[in-house]
Structure 1
Amino acid sequence: MSLVFFPSPYSDDELLYSICARYHKRSGNVHEKATLHDLFSNRGLTTSVFLPSGISALVSNMPPFSGYSEEQFVFENTLYPYNSAFLPANQANKVYQSMLSNDGKDIYVRAGVVASGVPQNKFIRFCPLCFEEDEKKYGEPYFHRTHQLSGIHCCLEHFMPLYSSTILASGGSKHRFEFASKDNCIINEDHNTLGHLSVSTKEKYINHVIQLAPYLKGLLNKRFDHKELNWFEQKYKQALIAKGIAYYSGRVKQEDWRAFFEKRYDQSVLDLFYSSLSSKGDWLSMIVQKHRKSFHPLRHILVMNALGISLNDMFGTGLKSPFGSSPWFCLNPVCDYYRQPVIKDIELTLSDKTKDPVGTFKCPNCGYTYTRRGPDRTQQDRLRKTRVKSYGEVWKTKLRELSKLDLSLRELSRRMGADPNTIKRFLNDEKESNWNIEQKTNSVKEDCQNWMSLQRKYPQKSIKQLREAEKALYMRLYRNNREWLKANSPKPIKRTSPERIDWNKRDEEILERVSEAVKNLLNSEDRPVRITIGKVGNLIGERAILEKKFDKLPRTMKYLQEKAETVEQFTERRIEHVINEMYKNNEELKTWIILRKSGIKDWNLWKKTVEEKIKSREYLFSIE
Structure 2
Amino acid sequence: MDLVHCDALPHADELLYSYQARIRLYFAVRSPKSLIESLYENRSVAASWVYPSHLQKLVDVIPTSTKLSATKLIYQHTLFPLAAFFMPPVRRRQVEALMLSEKDTGSHVLSGYAANKLPKLQYLRYCPVCAEEQRQRYGEVFWLRSHQVPAIQFCYKHNVKLVSCTSIKKGLHRHEFIPASTCNLDTREETSYCEFDKVISIACEKLLNNTEVLISPSFAQWTNYYKQLARSHGFLKGAYVDFEPIKEKINAYWPKAILVRCRLSINNKQTSWLHSIFRKHRKSFSYLEHIVVNAALSQDKFNILECIKMAGAKSKYLRTYDSVSTFSTTSSSNEVKEDKSVWKALLKVYTPKVARRHSAAMYARLYRADRDWLLRINEEHKETRITINNRVDWCKRDLAIVKSLFNVITRIDADLSLPRATKRWLMFQLSNTSTIEKYSHKLPLASMFLSRYAESVSEYQVRRITYQLLNNRHPHITRRWFLLRASGLSEERMTSITRQFLEDLNEMLPTFDFMFPALSTAD
Q: Which of residues 218, 221, 236 in structure 2 aligns to 1:228?
A: 218
1:127-276 maps to which residues of 2 (within 5 A)? Answer: 127-168=127-168, 170-181=170-181, 183-187=183-187, 203=193, 206-222=194-210, 223-247=213-237, 249=239, 251-276=240-265
Instruction: Using the TM superposition, give the Cα deviation of residue 173 of structure 1 relative to its aligned residue in structure 2, in angstroms.
Output: 2.3
| 3-state SS in 2 of match to 1:124 | strand
What is the rounded CA distance, in whole Å, between the counterparts of 1:164 and 1:126 in structure 2? 7
SS in 1 for 2:147: coil
2:302 matches 1:313: no
Q: Secondary structure at the match of 1:166?
A: strand
How does 1:430-509 map onto structure 2 within 5 Å?
Answer: none
- Within a 5 Å distance, the mapping from 1:54-133 to structure 2 comes to 54-133=54-133
Residue 374 (structure 2) aligns with: none
Q: Is the 8 A contact 1:215 1:301 kept in 2?
A: yes
Number of residue equivalences: 352
The Cα of 1:151 is off from its aligned counterpart by 1.8
Q: What secondary structure sits across from 1:125 in the alignment?
A: strand
1:53·1:103 contact (CA, 8 Å) conserved in 2?
Answer: yes
Question: Do 2:155 and 2:161's aligned partners in 1 also have CA atoms closer than 8 Å?
Answer: yes
Secondary structure of the corresponding residue to residue 275 of structure 2 = helix
Give distance in 2, aligned partners of 1:95 and 1:26: 31
Letter paired with 1:293? K
Q: Measure how far apart 1:182 and its partner are.
A: 6.5
Distance in 2, Cα, partners of 1:188 & 1:259 = 39
Corresponding residue of 1:565:
391
How do 1:289-438 and structure 2 match up within 5 A?
Answer: 289-308=279-298, 309-317=302-310
Structure 1 pair 570–140 and aligned structure 2 pair: CA distance change class (3 A):
same
* 2: CA distance, partners of 1:115 / 1:24: 32
Residues 125, 162 of structure 1: 8 Å contact kept: yes
Residue type of the partner of 1:208?
Answer: F
Cα distance change on mapping 1:185 and 1:233 into 2, 3 Å:
farther
Structure 1 residues 318 and 22: CA distance shift in structure 2, 3 A:
closer
What's the CA shift for 1:164? 0.5
1:112 is displaced (CA, Å) by 0.5
Measure, in 2, the Cα distance between the counterparts of 1:157 and 1:282.
34
CA, structure 1 residues 307+68, in 2 after alignment: closer, same or farther (shift >3 Å)?
same
Does the CA-based 8 Å contact 1:85-1:226 persist in structure 2? yes
SS in 1 for 2:150: coil
What is the CA–CA distance in structure 1 between the aligned matches of 2:223 and 2:247, rounded to whole Å? 16
SS at match of 2:4: coil
Deviations 1:471-498 (A, max 9, x none): xxxxxxx979769999xxxxxxxxxxxx
Q: Secondary structure at the match of 1:4?
A: helix
Specify the code of the residue in structure 2 equivalent to 1:292: R
Q: Which residue of 1 aligns with 2:16?
A: 16
Q: Offset of 1:271 from its aligned partner?
A: 1.4
Work out whether residues 89 and 218 of structure 2, in 8 Å CA contact, stay in contact via their aligned partners in 1: yes
In structure 1, the residue corresponding to 2:145 is in which secondary structure?
A: coil
Please give the secondary structure, in 2, of the residue aligned with 1:147. helix
Asked whether the 8 Å contact 2:249–2:297 carries over to 1, the reply is no
For 2:313 and 2:214, how far apart are their aligned partners in 1? 19
TM superposition shift of 1:64: 3.9
d(CA) in 2 for partners of 1:181, 1:285: 46
Q: Structure 2: which amino acid aligns with 1:265?
A: W
Which residues of 2 match residues 540-579 of structure 1 at below 5 A? 564-566=390-392
Query: In structure 2, what residue type is equivalent to 1:231?
Result: Q
Please tell me the residue identity of whatever aligns with 1:314. C
Superposed displacement of residue 279, structure 1? 3.6
Q: Which runs of 5+ in 2 are unaligned?
A: 340-382, 399-430, 437-523
1:260 CA displacement:
1.1
The structure that has the greater radius of gyration is 1
Q: How far did residue 221 of structure 1 move?
A: 1.5
**Off by >6 Å, runs of 4+ in structure 1:** 344-350, 478-486, 569-572
Post-superposition CA distance 1:115-145 (Å, at most 9, x none): 1101320111101111111111111111001
Deviation per CA, 1:177-201: give whole Å up to 9, x if none: 1000363433569xx8x9xxxxxxx
Q: Secondary structure at the match of 2:109?
A: helix
C-alpha contact 2:167 2:183 (8 A) present in aligned 1 = no
Q: Give 1:224 deviation, angstroms.
A: 1.6
Counterparts of 1:313 and 1:224 in 2: how far apart (Å)? 10
Distance in 1 (alpha carbons) for counterparts of 2:86 and 2:308? 10
Q: How far apart in 1 are the matches of 2:316 and 2:52?
A: 43
- Label 1:33 to 1:255 Cα distance change in 2 as closer, same or farther (>3 A): same
Q: Which amino acid aligns with 2:118?
A: V
> What is the CA RMSD across the aligned residues, in angstroms?
4.0
1:166/1:185 contact within 8 Å kept? no
Deviations 1:582-616 (A, max 9, x none): xxxxxxxxxxxxxxxxxxxx954479xxxxxxxxx
Label 1:273 to 1:7 Cα distance change in 2 as closer, same or farther (>3 A).
farther
Distance of aligned partners of 1:67 and 1:245 in 2 relative to their CA distance in 1, 3 Å threshold? same
SS at match of 1:300: helix
Structure number with greater CO (CA < 8 Å, separation at least 6) is 2
| Cα distance between partner residues in 1 of 2:282 and 2:296 | 22
Counterpart-to-counterpart distance in 2, 1:278 and 1:7: 53
CA distance in 2, matches of 1:484, 1:109: 49
**For residue 271 of structure 1, what is the amino acid of its counterpart?**
V
Q: Is the 8 A contact 1:59 1:70 kept in 2?
A: yes
TM-score by length of 1: 0.50
Offset, 1:47: 1.4
Deviations 1:72-120 (A, max 9, x none): 1111111111122201111111111111112131111111011110132
Q: Matches of 2:127 and 2:337 in 1, distance apart?
A: 85
In the alignment, the residues of structure 1 paired with residue 338 and residue 281 of structure 2 have an alpha-carbon distance, to the nearest angstrom, of 49
- Any idea what SS the aligned residue of 1:181 has? helix
CA deviation after TM superposition for structure 1 residue 68, in Å: 1.1
Q: Which amino acid aligns with 1:229?
A: F
Q: 1:39 to 1:569 in 2, by over 3 A?
A: same
1:521-572 Cα shifts (integer Å, max 9, x gaps): xxxxxxxxxxxxxxxxxxxxxxxxxx99xxxxxxxxxxxx9x9533758999
Partner of 1:457: none
The Cα offsets for residues 209-245 of structure 1, whole Å up to 9 and x where unpaired, read as: 2123332111111142111123223212212211111
Instruction: Give the letter aligned to residue 307 of structure 2.
Output: M
Return the alpha-carbon distance in structure 2 between the equivalents of residues 50 and 484 of structure 1: 59
Once the two structures are superposed, what CA deviation does each residue of 1:302-321 show, in whole Å capped at 9, x if it has no partner? Answer: 11211225234322236789
8 Å contact from structure 2 (residues 50, 79) kept in 1? yes
